[in-house]
Amino acid sequence: MTKTIAEELAKKQQSISVSEFFTKNRHLLGFDNPRKALLTTIKEGVDNSLDACQEAKVLPTIKVKIKQLQEERFCVSIEDNGPGIVKAQIPNIFAKLLYGSKFHTMIQSRGQQGIGISASVLYSQLTTGKPAKITSKIGKNHPAHYYELKIDTKNNEPEIVIDKETSFDQDHGTKVELEMEAIYQKGARGVDEYLKQTSIANPHAEIIYVDPEGNKVTFPRASEKLPVEPKEIKPHPHGIELGIFISMLQNTNSKTLTSFFTNDFIRVSSVTAKRICGEAGIKTNESPKSLDRDTAEKLYNIVQKTKLIAPPTNCLSPIGTEALQKSLEKEVPAEFFTSVTRPASVYRGNPFQVEVAAAYGGQLNSEEQIKLLRFANRVPLQYQQSACAITKSVIDTNWRNYGLSQSRSALPQGPIILAVHMASVWVPFTSESKEAIAHYPEIIKEIKLAVQEVGRKIASHIRRTVRVREQRERASLFEKYIPEIASSLSNLTSSKKTDVQEKLNKILKKSLKDILRELPEEDKSDKIKEEGKNKHVKKEKQSTLGSRKSRK
């Protein structure tokens, strides 16, 4: 009896190991090339540290150190003052892929990847064969534990190389050391820029960085306030996919459809649940688990069409206008700073909120395009700028209205750094690499409104500085003219030159005061503009200094 083709093929079919999967899919996980591998490792480490500190309500101090061992080999060390990790969990967290607590919760969080730091451990192991070194301490009276860990790539289990007690110079915290093949580069997509932007998006964090050349850079804390703890919320029916809906039906503890809708979701009342079931022709006391796929889909479609109250927005944790602006102020050598926080809004059942801060002038380059910093849930987005909804919104804004030059379909030109942050329980990325926000109209609208408001503030600042400079130039010209006028007049009349000169200077000074007195008023009208949001109330002040007068 000959074997069927399927049976022949079955011989070749076997489960692939995690390491094979990893090697073939590194690009999905951020390890496309040695340069990005270094950045991804530091990102995962810093994200973990920030999250841990946030959960423990500790103001984070994170030390990042990169040491070059060979031309393409580096040792990366990330240390935090977080709560530490209990001994038993250390091997699982660092040496087991897909181990974590962040899946499928509706809460604003940084990573959402879940693949996390263990991917870096695996990458390190694959490129150098060396174990990861972990030190952690959970409290003053607890010992510090030191592990050297590898991943058993066949079974996806931790392999402990060394396990011992050690000393740690903080009361609590965790330190990760990884050796890996990598390339270090400065620039917009490098580690240095990532840490700088992370510091901007996390004003409560202090980051101390030692680069491969041994230079130590400290990004100080801009705020002593811990961010508001984001609240976990149940999903809104408009924000989930059919597949998730079906699995929720299968896994629910609710016994009836009514309780399923009212308990497992937000914003569905029992009256609404009854109406949905009625429309679908299903009994309200039907068990959710008994529904077949077709019925579930029918139900899902009806739910999507049903009008529901938008989800609550108090579950978000924005950076805060003031803190974001302070962050920029400490990192950017500009002359003018401003920021705007939009009220929270909703796209497809997911609450989100947009914040924008801007730095203008000073030492920033006015010949180039503006520098756009993108953030999603406090994480800097350094790649795929052109695919991002933030970039689109900024390009679609007409910056010429605000006194900047802008080519078609391009970022405006001017001495501006614009930081845009989107906080959401679920940030819709365009792809796995999570570097660009998807183009939802609601999101673009909110970003545009925020950017426009910032644009108006910048424009009014530009007008003000131009005016002040012009006035100063005028004043100085008048000052220079005065002695000439005075000597002509003293020749024409019997008055003394010094006397006339003094009086003219007095008049000039008095008139200048008039100009300066106008400025606070301008500020006031700016505020009115902000309150009135989109109303363009513009009032050009005329200088009191001599308007041309003609009389008959």
Partner 1 sequence: MSKKKNNQLSALESLGNEVVKQINKGKNPEIPVPIRALSNVEFDEKTKTVKLGNKIAARYFFNVAHAKKFLQTLEVASISKNLLKEEKHASLRDVFYMAKRTIPGTKVNIVDEQTESDSVLEDLELVTDLSREQLHVNANKNGSVAGKVVIEDKGDTIDWSKLGSGGWSIPSNVENIKFKKVAGKYILYMEKAAVWERLHEDKFWDKQNCIIMSSQGQATRGIRRLLQRLTKEYNIPVYVLTDLDSWGHYIYSVIRFGSINLASLSEKMAIPDVKHLGIHTADIGKYKLEKHLIKFKDTDLSRLKQIREYPWFKDNKEWQKEFIALKNLGAKAEIQALSSRGISFISDTYLPEKIKNKDFLY
C-alpha–C-alpha distance, residues 395 and 398, integer Å: 8
410/507 with CB nearer partner 1: 507
- Using the contact rule CB under 8 A, the part of the chain among 336-344, 392-400, 495-503, 526-534 near partner 1 is 495-503
Radius of gyration of the chain (CA): 31
Judge whether 151 and 96 are in contact, CB under 8 Å: yes
Judged by CB under 8 A, does residue 485 bind partner 1?
Answer: yes
Q: Contact between 497 and partner 1 (CB under 8 A)?
A: no
CA distance 484 to 468: 25
Q: For residues 15 and 493, which CB has a smaller minimum distance to partner 1 in the complex?
A: 493
Least distance (Å) from partner 1 to the CB of residue 541? Answer: 15
Using N-to-C axis directions, what is the helix angle for 242-251 and 257-264, rounded to 10°? 110
Q: Is 540 in the site for partner 1 (CB under 8 A)?
A: no
Segment 408-447, which members bind partner 1 (CB under 8 A)?
A: none
503 lies in the site for partner 1, by CB under 8 A: yes
- Asked if 58 is part of the footprint of partner 1 (rule: CB under 8 A), the reply reads no
Among positions 332-351, residues that touch partner 1 (CB under 8 A) are none
Per-residue H/E/C for 211-256: CCCCCEEEECCCCCCCCCCCCCCCCCHHHCCHHHHHHHHHHCCCCC
Return the residue of 506, 517, 533, 541 that touches partner 1, per CB under 8 A. 506
**How many CA atoms within 13 Å lie on the side-chain side of 355?**
23
Among 477, 516, 519, 528, binds partner 1 (CB under 8 A): 477
- Interface pick for partner 1 out of 483, 518, 522, 525 (rule CB under 8 A): 483
One of 1, 6, 492, 537 touching partner 1 (CB under 8 A): 492
Question: What number of chain residues touch partner 1 (CB under 8 A)?
Answer: 31
By CB under 8 A, is residue 488 in contact with partner 1? yes
Q: Which of 478, 497, 522, 526 binds partner 1 (CB under 8 A)?
A: 478
107 is a site residue for partner 1 (CB under 8 A): no
For residue 163, list its beta bridge partners: 147
**Per CB under 8 A, 229 contacts partner 1:** no
H-only helix segments in 98-213: 116-128, 191-201
**Site residues for partner 1, window 180-209 (CB under 8 A)?**
none
Decide whether 432 or 502 has the Cβ nearer to partner 1: 502
* Burial of residue 249 (number of CB atoms within 10 Å: 0-12, 13-18, 19+): buried
**Contact map string, positions 447 to 476, toward partner 1, x by CB under 8 A:** ---------------------------x--
Neighbours of 529 (CB within 10 A): 19
Q: Tell me if 551 contacts partner 1 by CB under 8 A.
A: yes
Render 367-399 in DSSP notation, one character per residue: SSBPEEEEEETTEEE-S-GGG-HHHHHHHHS-G
90 within 8 A of 150, measured Cβ to Cβ: no
Give the CA distances from residue 6 to residues 2, 15, 387, 462, in Å, rounded to whole numbers and listed in that order.
Answer: 11, 17, 43, 73
Contact with partner 1 (CB under 8 A) among 216, 481, 516, 538: 481
| Six token digits for residue 466 | 């131009």
Grouping H, G, I as helix, E, B as strand and the rest as coil, residue 342 is: coil
Structure tokens at 441: 């109209």
| Closest CA relative to residue 464, chosen from 392, 541, 379 | 541
**260 within 8 A of 254, measured Cβ to Cβ:** yes
Any contact of residue 510 with partner 1 (CB under 8 A)?
yes
Which residue stretch of 118-126, 146-154, 389-397, 499-507 sits at the interface with partner 1 (rule: CB under 8 A)? Answer: 499-507
Q: Out of 11, 480, 524, 527, which residue is the one contacting partner 1 (CB under 8 A)?
A: 480
Based on the shown chain and the rule CB under 8 A, indicate whether residue 508 belongs to the binding site for partner 1.
yes
Residue 491 in the binding site for partner 1 (CB under 8 A): yes
Interface with partner 1 includes 511 (CB under 8 A)? yes
542 touches partner 1 (CB under 8 A): no
What DSSP line would sit under 69-110, residue for residue? Answer: EETTEEEEEEEE-S----GGGHHHHHHSTT--S-TT--S--S
C-beta closer to partner 1: residue 249 or 500 = 500
Structural tokens at position 106: 């509706």
Q: Does 114 bind partner 1 (CB under 8 A)?
A: no
CB nearer partner 1, residue 120 or residue 471: 471
Using the contact rule CB under 8 A, the part of the chain among 65-73, 88-96, 152-160, 503-511 near partner 1 is 503-511
Q: Which two tokens stand for residue 475?
A: 């004043």
Minimal distance, residue 545 CB to partner 1, in Å: 5
Q: Which range of residues in 22-30, 43-51, 85-93, 480-488 is near partner 1 by CB under 8 A?
A: 480-488
Residues of the shown chain interacting with partner 1 in the complex, contacts defined by CB under 8 A: 474, 477-478, 480-481, 483-485, 487-489, 491-493, 495, 500, 503-504, 506-508, 510-511, 545-552
